[in-house]
Structure 1
Amino acid sequence: MSSGEGVKTEEEKAAEARRGPGANAAQRRGPMSMGMPAEKSQDFLPSAKRLLGLLRPERTSLYAVLALVVGSVSLNAVGPKILGRATDLIFAGFIGKQLPETATREQVVQGLRAQGQDKQADLLAKLDHLRPGFGIDFGAVGRVLLLVLALYALASVLSWAMGWILTGAVNRTIFNLRRDVEDKLNRLPLPYFDGQPRGELLSRVTNDIDNVAQSMQQTLSQMLTSLLTVVAMVAMMLYISPLLALIALVTIPISMFVTAAIGKRSQKHFVQQWKSTGELNSIVEETFTGHQLVKVFGREDEVRASFKAKNDDLFDAGFGAQFISGIIMPTMMFIGNLNYVVIAVVGGLRVASGTMSLGDVQAFIQYSRQFTQPLTQVASMANLLQSGVASAERVFEVLDAPEQRADATAPTTLDDPHGQVRFEDVSFSYDPEKPLIQHLDLCVEPGQTVAIVGPTGAGKTTLVNLIMRFYELDAGRITLDGVDITQLTRHNLRSEIGMVLQDTWLFGGTIRDNIAYGRPGASEEEVVAAARATYVDRFVHSLPDGYDTVLDAEGGNISAGEKQLITIARAFLSDPALLILDEATSSVDTRTELLVQQAMSALRHDRTSFVIAHRLSTIRDADVILVMRDGQIVEQGSHEELLASGGAYAELYAAQFSGAAIDVDTGEAPAPDLAGAKV
């Protein structure tokens, strides 16, 4: 296809009202629009499950991550227990220094019992490292500390390796997601984009995907580590003291209930937050794209009001999401502190009674803190996780959108097209309840130039869009050289068609690149030849960098007429078999129009051409002129024949050149005075 422009022109703008509110509510939004109504979000769990399913190709990496996390958590779990031995050594040395060296531990315990001091006896009986008369064994304490240091160092190395592997897996997953979304956009039909504000769609494929990446990166490793840490801490606590473990485990159902209750209230706010972000981006995008129009009509106040309203919506949604989900963290910390107090009191009593050693109580308190900390971390990540899932839902909506009809499984190929186009009983409508084109028959022979005229909304651009297969027919068929266009691949069909639109569209790049877009691989000489033939070469040399002048995406650094000439040169370079010109000279001055018409005559030579025109002076030499009204061809013939018939074409011609009034709805006008009209 030789043109990269969009195809939304006057017929489609007028037909928006006929397409129904559902498909076009978003498209009708102007600089002062307020966005679409709220959408119902998907359920959190199915969306989260689907999001995690994106990691399925990274199974090997995830297994490695799991093994590394298990190793790291296990080493961290053993650490406090071993560190408790150091506490026991220090405590035993402190007590042993105060006892006579001549007695053994058993003798000291028996003496205390004989004196009726059973609690003290039970306490010393639990000190396995007690040596009466000896102080702290710093050598043993040092060995324990070195062992713990080695365990924690190894755990850190495993955790670092886990983070490195997981980062790669997540980034590859997001890379694939972006690729899938890009591929999906190329498979979506044109009506989908008609119903989506550009800013909203851009927000989905940029902001939302970035948010999904951030959420997955920050939550996966922390969630996995936290959950396994909880399991490891529970196992160690049960090993040390089942009673204290039961006390600590009471916090689990309480924590789950609190997290679920708060998370349920905040999820809707996260969905609204990212929806409001897309709507705000849409307003910003369309406002700055049409900033000249806004200033010309003095609508700055309305734009500011529209922006403020959406910005306030985003503020309210963001504040609600962050505040409500933020309550989870302090609530979990409060529950953890209560648990810590209860364990400390009960553990102290058990040490005093001799049923536990001081080192075990110390280790248990560490485990209880390490047990509640992961729960708190999981709770604190709830807002990030919910935000990521809300963004994922918006991305999934794009991925789940209905695609354009697939190409034929065994397509026909046009190797040497001649350009014969037939419409055979064609019917099409944007809204099934409001028919537009009904039972249209038309035959255009190779090399003919067909001009299409008619009032706005008559279906002129729709007709050529159907040839391009931008929309699918409701009934009938269109053939190119006798082959149904649905039996051709879209690429094959559009590669044989050149299209120049009234609304120009240029890439951000050099003038040379924009012309060469019409035929990849074209040589420098061919690009320059196309530029000369379409009079682009006349103004290029007045630019500082010539053909290397860089244009922005809107082509704002050249005039509208110069942009139009570049798009014509693009079509010229593609050398198509079928040419479609939709008001292609509407933006050029009168002198340039005459020159471009000469170039167009050469371009149309031996090509079938469809020319949509409002200025009837530009189509006098057309082989066939089709007059359309309400989706139907009401007249066809040459310029002279249609004038002589005194029908709809004559009325349009008289209205344009004689200033006669004409009703655009009924098409009725006073009888034209053609006596002075030059044919």
Structure 2
Amino acid sequence: MSAPARAALAPAAPAPKPPSTTGRVLGLLLPHRARLVPMALLGAASIALNLLGPLLLGRATDLIFAGLVGRSLPAGATPHEVLEHLRAEGKGTLANVISTVDVVPGRGVDMRELAVLLAVVVVLYLVGSLCMLGQGRLAAVVVQRAVHRLRADVEAKLARLPMSYFDANPRGEVLSRVTNDVDNLQRTLQQTIGQVVNSVLSAVGVLAVMLMISVELSVIVLVSVPVAVALAALIGKRAWPRVQQQWKSTGELSAHVEEIYSGHSLVTAFGRRELAEERFDEHNEAMCHSGHRAQAVSGLVAPATRFVLDLNYVLVAVVGALRVASGTMTIGGVQAFIQYSGMFGRPIVDVASFSAQLQSGIASAHRVFELLDEPEEPPAPAVPERLSAVRGHVEFSNVSFRYLPDEPLMEGLSLTAEPGRLVAIVGPTGAGKTTLGNLLLRFYDPDGGRILLDGVDTTAMTREDLRSRIGLVSQDTWLFHGTIAENIAYGRPGATREEIVAAARAMCVDRFVRALPDGYDTVLDDDHGGLSAGEKQLITLARAFLAQPAILVLDEATSSVDTRTEALIQQAMVSLRAGRTSFVIAHRLSTVRNADLIVVMDGGDVVERGTHTELLARGGFYARLLHHRLDTP
């Protein structure tokens, strides 16, 4: 079983139970409390100004009503005489309604007072809107900075995760958490942070004003609130697992797309496009189905709560009309209360309306926090060892290692590489060759035994210091988007153009780079500028040559080049290996004939060691490998 497969099956170490996802999301905002406080104050000011509007409009309604009634009454009569006259004529209800306002018989609407009231209302709403605008700008700054910090934390976390995590998780899934989920959380915070604050403040303020206007009507409004909240909570609870599944499906789809895109040439070459499209359709259908189920359930929240609040609106209107008829409230007071009841219900409906977005954001945050909670590489020693100069003496002393607890791969492996010597590691697939290189680079740490570099235990060194002394060229070429010169200089920042060209010449890169239109300034895009697999591998070799490491690890580094190029590289690597210890991991035994020491591995153990001539003379495992041509000669 290969290393990635074993790592994928390995159980994750149990992590301490983290705080609730919602609490951690709020924790992202707390460092920005200096902006959150004025944001909340601006929201409170906006709500307070908007709360005064219905009161003043109710007063304007009463003023208009009093003027219309007063204009129809005989001048000179007192309000008391008018009311007594109406009751004597059997118009008691009308008398009760008129008694609630200041009617002056013979006088119409006071247009000057009405104009002042309306002007004040316009100013209040204008200032309230400006406060709301300021709150929105502060909220945008808070969210952007909080998410900026979260992205930085995620990036730093990725650098601290062990190699086993990346072996066990598809790259597309990891990328989906880092991009899609973080972006979705940002959208959620941007859309809801100000609304949540305003909803809470608005509900409290409106309730206080309603209680001042009428306790009886306020009780009617309050009775409906628990019903609406209970409905929203019940529906939200049913929607939550569906929302989680939606974002899990999104990650699986992203992983599939990334995999197919990375291997596009192979998919096309082997005629597997139809199969890839079928699997894409399966993932796409699963994502569509989970999204539909999540939105279908979440979409019930707003209509359900609105229905309850609409019933409440009807009750308030009926009871308010009865109170006006009885003379205990003015028409303007009932009008204002009805407006306030709508304002009180609006935050509940708003929260219900974006509950689906909230749940989606929390689900994404949960996935991001899962990544942040993953076990990290063991910390570096408090006082790490540091070698001033590396000779390159490498010793594996009684090393034991396993990917799975009950499946040992290496048990008591011992191996010594003398400084400046070429050590070849050969064996069949799954023998543990690449694992040996991974242990040396501390991508994994051994379960037992020690790995010594010039007599110093590598676990006593920092990983950064250790890896800075080792150059790695793997079978999988990696080139980033940039010029060829930048790719070669990746292992040695600050290298001059002359040094880059010298490394390219030593590794047979210069011969094909000169033929390109822009030479070393050719930009490698996603398809790497049409370079062949062998040419890309040569560039990675030049990168290692330029870095001049003390130890060199070549993991099938020449598997993608042709025989002629391989011969040139073997010749060039004589100078590359000069003065440094080199480990060559190879299936092609023809590439290791001149090695100072050949280590033959099988099943995680060293079964033979010696020179090419010595191993052939023994007629053992190495000789059988060569005889049966399990490699490419």
Equivalences for residues 36-55 of structure 1 within 5 A: 46-55=20-29
Of 78, 96, 103, the match for 1:122? 96
Overall identity of the aligned pairs, in %: 54
Distance, in Å, in 2 between the alignment partners of 1:658 and 1:266 is 56
Aligned partner of 1:613 among 583, 586, 595: 586
Partner of 2:9: 21
SS across alignment from 2:594: coil
The 1-side partners of 2:214 and 2:444 are apart by: 72
Distance in 2 between the 1:146 and 1:223 partners?
A: 30
Letter in 1 for 2:586: A
Partner of 1:406: 379
Alignment of 1:339-350 (within 5 A): 339-350=312-323
Partner residue in 2 for 1:30: none
> In the TM superposition, what is the alpha-carbon distance from 1:338 to its structure 2 partner?
1.4
Q: Any idea what the Cα deviations from partners look like across 1:92-122, whole Å, max 9, x if unmatched?
A: 0000001111112233234444555443333
Q: CA deviation at 1:356?
A: 0.4
State the one-letter code of the partner of 1:580.
V
Confirm or deny: 8 A CA contact 2:484 2:522 kept in the other structure. yes
Aligned to 1:244: 217
Residue number in structure 2 paired with 1:583: 556
Match 2:62 to one of 81, 88, 95: 88
Residues 429-479 of structure 1: CA deviation (Å, up to 9, x unaligned): 111211111111122111111111111111111111100000011001111
Question: 1:397-432: per-residue Cα shift (whole Å, max 9, x none)?
Answer: 100000011111111112211101011111011112
Unpaired segments of 5 or more residues in structure 1? 1-12, 25-41, 661-679
The answer to whether the 8 A contact 2:587-2:631 is kept is no
- Partner SS, residue 528 of structure 2: coil
Per-residue CA deviations over 1:152-203 (Å, capped at 9, x if unaligned) read 1111111111111111001100001111001000000000001101111111
Correspondence for 2:614 among 606, 624, 641: 641
Superposition misfits of 4+ residues, deviation over 6 angstroms? 657-660
Q: 1:193 to 1:246 in 2, by over 3 A?
A: same
- Select the residue among 441, 447, 451 that pairs with 2:424: 451
- Structure 2: distance between partners of 1:439 and 1:414: 26
Inter-CA distance 169–19: structure 2 relative to 1 (3 Å threshold): closer
Superposition pairs for residues 295-310 of structure 1, below 5 Å?
295-310=268-283
Indicate yes or no: 2:53 matched with 1:65: no
Which of 63, 67, 75 is the matching residue for 2:49?
75
Query: Hey, what's the Cα distance between the residues in 2 that align with 1:68 and 1:279?
Result: 42
Whether 2:520 is the aligned partner of 1:547: answer yes
Q: Does 1:438 align with 2:411?
A: yes
**What letter is aligned with 2:9?**
P
Within 2, Cα distance between the matches of 1:532 and 1:580?
21
Q: Which amino acid aligns with 1:161?
A: G
Three-state SS of the structure 1 residue aligned to 2:327 is coil
Task: Give the aligned residue type for 1:159.
Answer: M
Q: Secondary structure at the match of 1:634?
A: strand
- Of the candidates 279, 291, 297, which is equivalent to residue 318 of structure 1? 291
Higher relative contact order (CA 8 A, sep 6+): 1
Is the contact between residue 465 and residue 471 of structure 1 (CA under 8 Å) also seen in structure 2? yes
Deviation, structure 1 residue 380: 0.5
Q: 1:176 to 1:19 in 2, by over 3 A?
A: closer
Question: How many residues get paired?
Answer: 629
Structure 2: distance between partners of 1:248 and 1:180? 45
Match of 1:604 among 564, 577, 596: 577
What residue number does 2:135 align with? 162
Task: State the distance in 2 between where 1:122 and 1:603 align.
Answer: 105
2:465 alignment counterpart: 492
Q: Given that residues 5 and 168 in structure 2 are in contact (C-alpha distance below 8 angstroms), is that contact kept between their aligned partners in structure 1?
A: no
Matched residue SS, 1:250: helix
SS at match of 2:388: coil
Mapped partners of 1:193, 1:657: distance in 2:
30
Q: Does 1:105 align with 2:75?
A: no
Correspondence for 1:187 among 160, 167, 191: 160
- CA 1:18–1:118 in structure 2 vs 1: closer, same or farther (change >3 Å)? closer
Which amino acid in 1 is paired with 2:625? L
Q: Give the secondary structure class of the aligned counterpart of 2:397.
A: strand
Match of 1:510 among 483, 504, 513: 483
Secondary structure of 1:584's counterpart equals coil
TM-score (norm 2): 0.96
In 2: Cα distance, 1:173 partner to 1:378 partner = 22
Deviations, residues 269-293 of structure 1 (Å, cap 9, x unaligned): 1101000011011111111222232
Q: C-alpha separation between the residues in 2 aligned to 1:19 and 1:593?
A: 32
Contact 2:8 2:167 in 1 (8 A): no
Output the aligned Cα RMSD.
1.9
Q: Matches of 2:350 and 2:5 in 1, distance apart?
A: 52
1:666 equivalent in structure 2 = none
Separation in structure 2 between the aligned mates of residue 559 and residue 305 of structure 1, nearest angstrom? 30
Contact 1:447 1:605 in 2 (8 A): yes
How far does the alpha carbon of each residue in 1:533-559 deviate from its partner, in whole angstroms, 9 at most, with x for none? 111110001111111111124536201
Change (3 A) 1:19 1:378: closer
Q: Structure 1 residues 659, 535: CA separation in 2 closer, same or farther (over 3 Å shift)?
A: closer
Call closer, same or farther: CA 1:19–1:494 in 2, change over 3 Å: closer
Distance of 2:38 and 2:213 partners within structure 1: 30
Which residue type is aligned with residue 336 of structure 1?
L
Relative to structure 2, which stretch is displaced further, 299-308 or 260-269?
299-308
- 1:277 equivalent to 2:277? Answer no
Question: 1:508: Cα distance to partner?
Answer: 1.3
Query: What are the superposed Cα offsets for residues 196-225 of structure 1, whole Å, 9 maximum, x if unpaired?
Result: 011111111100100000011111111111
The answer to whether the aligner puts 1:334 opposite 2:322 as a matched pair is: no
Q: Would you say the 8 A contact 2:386–2:461 is kept in 1?
A: yes
Describe the SS at the equivalent of 1:401: coil
Distance 1:653 1:113 in 2: 120
Q: Secondary structure at the match of 1:50?
A: helix
Partner of 2:349: 376
What is the aligned partner in structure 1 of residue 538 from structure 2?
565
Instruction: Give the distance between the partners of 2:483 and 2:239, measured in 1 at CA.
Output: 48
**Aligned-partner SS, 1:430:** strand
Q: 1:299 & 1:443 partners in 2: Cα distance?
A: 46
CA distance in 2 between partners of 1:434 and 1:18 (Å): 9
Cα offset for 1:19? 5.0
Counterpart check, 1:261 vs 2:234: yes
CA shift, 1:14, in A, is 3.0
* C-alpha deviation, 1:658, in angstroms: 12
- Matching residue of 1:363: 336
Q: Quick one: which amino acid aligns to residue 352 of structure 2?
A: A
- The yes-or-no answer on 1:204 pairing with 2:177 is yes
Q: Deviation of residue 17 (structure 1)?
A: 5.4
Q: What is aligned with 1:522?
A: 495
For residue 436 of structure 1, give the secondary structure of its aligned residue in structure 2.
strand
- In structure 2, relative to structure 1, the CA distance for the partners of 1:493 and 1:553 (3 Å cut) is farther
User: Given that residues 506 and 554 in structure 1 are in contact (C-alpha distance below 8 angstroms), is that contact kept between their aligned partners in structure 2?
Assistant: no
In the alignment, structure 2 segments of 5+ residues that lack a partner are none
